[in-house]
Amino acid sequence: MPPLLEIQDLKLEFGTGSEALRALDGVSLVLEEGQTLCLVGESGCGKSVTALSIAQLLPTPPARYVGGRILVNGHNVLEMDKGSLRRIRGGTVGYIFQEPGASLNPVYRVGEQLIEPLRLHRPAAATEKEMVELLKLVGIPEPELRLRDYPHQLSGGMQQRVMIAMALAAQPKLLIADEPTTALDVTIQAQILELLRDLKHRLGMSILLITHNLGIVGDIADRVAVMYAGQVVEEAPADQLLRRPMHPYTRALMRSVPELGREMGRLEAIAGTVPAVGAFPSGCRFHPRCPVVQPDCSQKAPALIEAEPACHVRCPHWK
C-alpha cells in the first residue's frame, strides 16, 4: 500500500524567466498513516509553501511547479482535475493555520462557518447535532451556545479549537497544522498540543505539523524533517534526531536555544542571517553560516544521503 503522503523531489518557483525565485528545490517527504511528521525550519525555508502545495492551495501563477510529484494515497495531486482536487481540499486533507482570528470569517457565526465543510464533504451529516458533536470533540464547553457566537467573542485558544473542528468536519486522513500554536500563550499552546495528540489517537489520522519550536517536536512528533533554504537537510525519527542531530544546522539550532532548567552559559549563536529566497548560497546552502565548513562545501551541492537506516542528512561531513 502506498504511504498516505509522499512528496518526491518537489521543485517550485515563483515568477517566470530569469526572475523566477526557486522556493522549493527538491523536497522529498514521506508520511505514513497514523504518524505525526514535524516540519521544522525558520522563516523563508519553504515549510509553509510545502504544506500549502499538498492540497494545491498556492495560486498558480505566481507559483509554478517545475518538477516532482505529490502523492496523496498514491494519486498525484499535481495532475488532478478540479473535482478530485475539491475532494482533497478540506476532505482528505484538512488544514489549520497560525492565526485562528485571521482564518475565521468575522461576519459569520461559528455555526454558519462550521456547516460549510459538512455540506461540501458530508452532506448527510450537515446538521446541528453533528456540529455540536464536533465542538465537543475539540473540547469547547457549552457547544450549543458557541454555535451562535461570532469569532471575536471567543478567545484565541477557543478560536483555534473551532478551526480544528472545521478541519475535522470532513473526517480527514491528514491534518496539516501550520504553526498552530505560535500565536497562542504557552498554557493555551499546551492545551492545543494535548488536543492534537488526543485526536490523533482517537481518530487515527496523520498530522503534518509545521513549527520552528524544537520543544514541540519533542512533545508530539514521530518523525522530523528539518528544512533550510528550500531543501530538507535532515530527516529522521524524532527521538533520534533530537538526541543525536547529524546536520550541522540542526546541531547549531539546538545549541542556540536556551532550555528551561539547563545551565548553558553563553549561547552558541549561529552567525549571519537566514538567506532570502532567490539569494541562496551556492554549494551547500548552509556553508556561509556553518561552524564546521570545509573547503569543498561552497563548490559542491550535497545530496540527501541515508546516513543510518531511516535517517537522511544533506551533509557529506556529518560524521
CB of 260 to another protein, least distance (A): 4
Phi/psi at 282 (5° precision): -75, 170
Residues at the site binding another protein, with contacts judged by CB under 8 A: 42-43, 155, 157-158, 185-191, 193-194, 212-219, 221, 238-239, 242-243, 252-254, 256-261, 263-264, 266-271, 273-274, 289
Give 60 or 155: the residue with its C-beta nearer to another protein. 155
Give 4 or 40: the residue with its C-beta nearer to another protein. 40
Give 57 or 311: the residue with its C-beta nearer to another protein. 311
- Closest listed residue to residue 206, CA positions, set 36, 22, 27, 11: 36
CB of 184 to another protein, least distance (A): 9
CB of 261 to another protein, least distance (A): 6
Give 21 or 183: the residue with its C-beta nearer to another protein. 183
Give 128 or 259: the residue with its C-beta nearer to another protein. 259
User: Distance between CA atoms of 55 and 46, rounded to whole angstroms?
Assistant: 15
User: Distance between CA atoms of 264 and 259, rounded to whole angstroms?
Assistant: 8
- Closest listed residue to residue 89, CA positions, set 116, 121, 137, 134: 121
Give 121 or 289: the residue with its C-beta nearer to another protein. 289
Plot region of 293 (φ>0 → left; ψ -120 to 50 → alpha; else → beta): beta
Q: Which amino acid is at 93?
A: V
CB of 4 to another protein, least distance (A): 22
H helices of 179-275, where? 186-203, 214-220, 238-243, 248-256
3-state secondary structure of 305: strand
User: Distance between CA atoms of 176 and 160, rounded to whole angstroms?
Assistant: 13
CB of 207 to another protein, least distance (A): 15
DSSP state of 213: -
CB of 172 to another protein, least distance (A): 24
Phi/psi at 53 (5° precision): -65, -30
